[in-house]
């Protein structure tokens, strides 16, 4: 799948995403909707994409989240298609429109009526924005979104009002973490209108030294300006991470090799592995692949492991409900990929 690929600047940037928040005019925000209105939003969005003559009809499928197993929803959240809140939520009348390649999705009745998401491997915000705007235009052929001439698109949360755009980039920053440089980066980006979060967004941990960098400002700027600014700032973070990797390697090659190969040794020989310790060691291994310390694996294989070993993905594919059984299977999965 696309999220295991290595795109542009794939040594540091895992993926790019652009999300547009929209709400249907004359229907209350999600916090004030009735059950009937929630059902109406789902039906209207589904009809606009797959039931008519939409340009998206042949490439997207509708999924009723009310009838989807919790483990399947959580697996989609682990792949960043659903938000963790949407995957765990008990509220009825929620839907997902998902493209065949899983790069484009439309979340129905999350925080807003509609959330358009376009994702790509590596550093590719510009194309994500183009695709998101294309989907937005297609939806607006059938739906009328709430828009104010002064404020822009109206959203449930005031912090999204304006463009309704959240652009984000997932980055792997092991050298910055090793050098205790993340606090400075987070502070610097915050002053420039950006935010840094963990792997699954607000309130989540940076498992495997993976962080999300995204814009905070949506009012008074255009979509293009937001993406251009984020692109420039992420490029600076990438340059800093690459420079620190080289310094680490040059300053103490033996210690770095030892750390990376110890992680590789544990991963390839352990009988049982928790998801958190596996992600921590996969971070070392991914760094080792990019520094050419490890030649028996590709970055794509490491990316694949980072998704396949996550709890809900193991539940979905192997129906293992206990944490102990999942830990055993996780170790097996690592060995299978390494041997392949």
> What is residue 212's predicted lDDT score, i.e. its pLDDT?
96
Instruction: Tell me the C-alpha distance between 20 and 169, whole Å.
Output: 15
Q: What is the pLDDT of residues 251-309, one digit of tens each?
A: 999 999 999 999 999 999 999 999 999 999 999 999 999 999 999 999 999 999 999 99
Do residues 213 and 233 touch, judged by C-beta distance below 8 A?
Answer: yes
pLDDT at 202 exceeding the cut of 80: no
Q: What is the pLDDT of residues 231-248, one digit of tens each?
A: 999 999 999 999 999 999
Is 199 annotated among the ligand-binding residues?
yes
pLDDT at 40 exceeding the cut of 90: yes
- Both tokens of residue 209? 């030294």
> What is residue 20's predicted lDDT score, i.e. its pLDDT?
98
Q: What is the pLDDT of residues 6-39, one digit of tens each?
A: 999 999 999 999 999 999 999 999 889 999 999 9
Is 317 annotated among the ligand-binding residues?
no
> What is residue 211's predicted lDDT score, i.e. its pLDDT?
97
> What is residue 52's predicted lDDT score, i.e. its pLDDT?
76
Do residues 219 and 162 touch, judged by C-beta distance below 8 A?
Answer: yes
Q: What is the pLDDT of residues 47-69, one digit of tens each?
A: 999 987 889 999 999 999 999 99
> What is residue 143's predicted lDDT score, i.e. its pLDDT?
96
Is 200 annotated among the ligand-binding residues?
yes
Is 318 annotated among the ligand-binding residues?
no
> What is residue 204's predicted lDDT score, i.e. its pLDDT?
75
- Reduced to 3 states, what is the DSSP secondary structure of residue 272? coil
Q: What is the pLDDT of residues 83-137, one digit of tens each?
A: 988 998 778 999 999 999 999 999 999 999 999 999 999 999 999 999 999 999 9
Q: What is the largest CA-CA distance in the chain?
A: 64
What mean pLDDT comes out for the span 163-176? 98
Instruction: Tell me the C-alpha distance between 338 and 340, whole Å.
Output: 5
| Structural domains of the chain ordered from first start | 2-243 (3.30.590.10), 252-339 (no CATH)
Instruction: Tell me the C-alpha distance between 323 and 246, whole Å.
Output: 38
Is 265 annotated among the ligand-binding residues?
no
Instruction: Tell me the C-alpha distance between 143 and 108, whole Å.
Output: 13
Is 170 annotated among the ligand-binding residues?
yes
Name the band, by pLDDT with cuts 50, 70 and 90, for residue 140: very high
Is 17 annotated among the ligand-binding residues?
yes
Q: What is the pLDDT of residues 172-194, one digit of tens each?
A: 999 999 999 999 999 999 999 99
pLDDT at 1 exceeding the cut of 80: no
Is 168 annotated among the ligand-binding residues?
yes
Is 115 annotated among the ligand-binding residues?
yes
> What is residue 275's predicted lDDT score, i.e. its pLDDT?
95
pLDDT at 5 exceeding the cut of 80: yes
Is 153 annotated among the ligand-binding residues?
no
> What is residue 147's predicted lDDT score, i.e. its pLDDT?
95
Is 197 annotated among the ligand-binding residues?
yes
Q: What is the pLDDT of residues 302-340, one digit of tens each?
A: 999 999 999 999 999 999 999 999 999 999 999 999 887
Among candidate residues 149, 173, 165, 252, the one with its CA nearest the CA of residue 215: 165
Is 193 annotated among the ligand-binding residues?
no
> What is residue 43's predicted lDDT score, i.e. its pLDDT?
96
Is 198 annotated among the ligand-binding residues?
yes
> What is residue 62's predicted lDDT score, i.e. its pLDDT?
97
Average model confidence (pLDDT) for the chain? 95
Is 259 annotated among the ligand-binding residues?
no
Is 242 annotated among the ligand-binding residues?
no
Among candidate residues 14, 8, 11, the one with its CA nearest the CA of residue 291: 11
């Amino acid at each position: 799948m696309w999220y295991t690929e290595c795109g542009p600047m794939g040594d540091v940037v895992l993926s790019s995403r652009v999300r547009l928040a929209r709400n249907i005019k004359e229907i209350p925000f999600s916090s004030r909707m009735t059950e009937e209105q929630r059902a109406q939003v789902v039906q209207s969005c589904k009809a606009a994409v797959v039931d008519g003559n939409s340009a998206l009809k042949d490439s997207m499928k509708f999924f009723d989240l009310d009838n989807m197993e919790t483990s399947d929803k959580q697996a989609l959240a682990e792949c960043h298609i659903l938000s963790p809140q949407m995957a765990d939520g008990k509220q009825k009348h929620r839907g997902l429109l998902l493209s065949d390649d899983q790069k484009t999705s439309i979340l129905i009745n999350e925080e807003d009526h509609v959330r358009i998401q376009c994702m790509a491997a590596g550093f590719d915000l510009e194309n994500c924005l183009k695709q998101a705007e294309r989907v937005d235009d297609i939806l607006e052929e059938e739906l009328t979104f709430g828009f104010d001439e002064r404020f822009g698109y109206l959203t449930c949360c005031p912090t999204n009002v304006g463009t309704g755009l959240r652009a984000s980039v997932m980055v792997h920053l092991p050298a910055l973490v090793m050098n205790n440089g993340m606090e400075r980066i987070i502070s610097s980006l915050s002053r420039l209108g950006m935010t840094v979060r963990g792997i699954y967004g607000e309130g989540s941990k940076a498992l495997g030294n993976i962080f999300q960098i995204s814009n905070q400002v949506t009012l008074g700027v255009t979509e293009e300006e937001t993406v251009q600014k984020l692109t420039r700032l992420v490029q600076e973070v990438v340059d800093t991470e690459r420079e620190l990797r080289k310094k680490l390697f040059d300053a103490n090659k033996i210690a770095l090799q030892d750390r990376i190969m110890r992680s590789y040794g544990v991963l390839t020989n352990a009988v049982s592995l928790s998801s958190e310790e596996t992600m921590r060691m996969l971070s070392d291994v991914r760094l080792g692949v990019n520094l050419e310390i490890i030649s028996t694996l590709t970055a794509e294989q490491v990316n694949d492991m980072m998704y396949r070993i996550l709890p809900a993905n193991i539940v979905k594919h192997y129906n293992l409900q206990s944490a102990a059984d999942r830990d055993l299977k996780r170790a097996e999965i690592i060995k299978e990929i390494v041997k392949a």
